[in-house]
Homo-oligomer: A and B are copies of this chain.
Amino acid sequence: MQILPGTITGRPVRVGSVGLGRLGVLHAENIAMRIPGAILSALCDLDRTRLEHTAAALGAERTFTDFAEMAAWDGIDAVCIVSPSALHTKHIRIAMEHGKHVFCEKPLGVTLEQCKDAEQVVGAHPELIFMLGFMRRYDPSYIYAKQKLDAGEIGRVVLLRSYSQDPDHQIKGALAFAPHSGGQFLDMAVHDIDLARWFIGREPEKVWAIGGCYAHPEFAQHGDGDNVSCLMKFEDDAMCFLLAGRTSPHGYNVETEIMGTKGTLRIASVPQKNLVEILDEHGVRKECSQTFHERFGEAFLGEMREFISCIRQGRRPEVSVSDGTRVLEIATQCKASFETGELVCCK
């Protein structure tokens, strides 16, 4: 990790956050209440009622309905971007041109052009911290698995398998969002693609993607399925199988298996809600996490803590802007394979 010169400071980092959807509120709460050394100074959203209400509850000093105005305010050092995906790169450029550090939710952008634009502006501002929200890398279990892999405990990676499944009881929201989501590969599988590159440490070469509408034909209208999967061949032969689905009956299921020549690691193959085991007429069972914040609450906190810490210590976070570009490229190739039914090259 490269250390930036001269930027360690004892002053709290003042953050302005844009976007107050479910995830935006979670980020705002974390900044306001759970990260020593961070202050939630400003909030920005188009919905004035929600904006004022949230700002009051979290003690934000200023509110904005225009992102550029917030970015221009000298009362903040950094911005947290949780706006609609299509606006991410625009907001990144505005913020950085106003000298603000940037945390941006995934995806980096919705087109390759947007990603390239973000790379350009981030590259032009080496004095500023940029971090992309691949929060799984900050989950304690994923961190633990990565350490074991890096320590050579499982040998060479043979296969990475990763599932991202939303619970079926959230299907209404998923259907409503479907026209704008970019599809399961761009909306969901990007996290798994990031994990695959992180764990395998190489790039995919070829992909074949399939899937269908097994329970919800509505997705077909958007050229999508309710469950999709792909098989990828990575450089040096590592295999990768990813699945993204919207119909999980048991809950929010994000699981990853890393099979190596000396051992296999499975992360969350039982997506247990907590440490309670129940023995009753249904057998011996564990109830499951139902939402992303239930499963990844600690990871969302961890990534924001890392962002603030990077700013204060002048360190670069592990995820670079080009990781964001690369993941979008690969997800787009998956989508192309799904749509054409053909093998697609990832290079």
Contacts and interface: CB of A to CB of B under 8 A. Distances in A.
A263 B249 contact: yes
A281 B250 contact: yes
A327 B184 CA distance: 32
B273 A144 contact: yes
B239 A284 contact: no
Number of copies: 4
Contacts of A141: 274-276
A173 B281 CA distance: 19
Contacts of A145: 276
- How many A residues touch the partner, as a band? 35 or more
Interface stretch (A61-69, A116-124, A152-160, A328-336): A152-160
Interface stretch (A16-24, A195-203, A226-234): A226-234
A243 B277 contact: no
A87 interface: no
B279 A287 contact: no
Interface of A: 32-34, 36, 140-141, 144-145, 148, 153-156, 158-159, 161, 168, 206, 208, 210-215, 225, 227, 229-231, 233, 236-239, 241, 243, 245, 247, 249-251, 253, 259, 261-288, 341-343
30 contacts: A141-B275, A141-B276, A144-B276, A159-B243, A168-B261, A206-B341, A208-B208, A208-B343, A210-B233, A210-B239, A214-B261, A227-B239, A230-B231, A247-B261, A253-B279, A264-B279, A266-B277, A266-B278, A268-B275, A269-B269, A269-B277, A270-B284, A273-B283, A282-B282, A282-B285, A282-B287, A283-B287, A284-B285, A284-B288, A342-B343
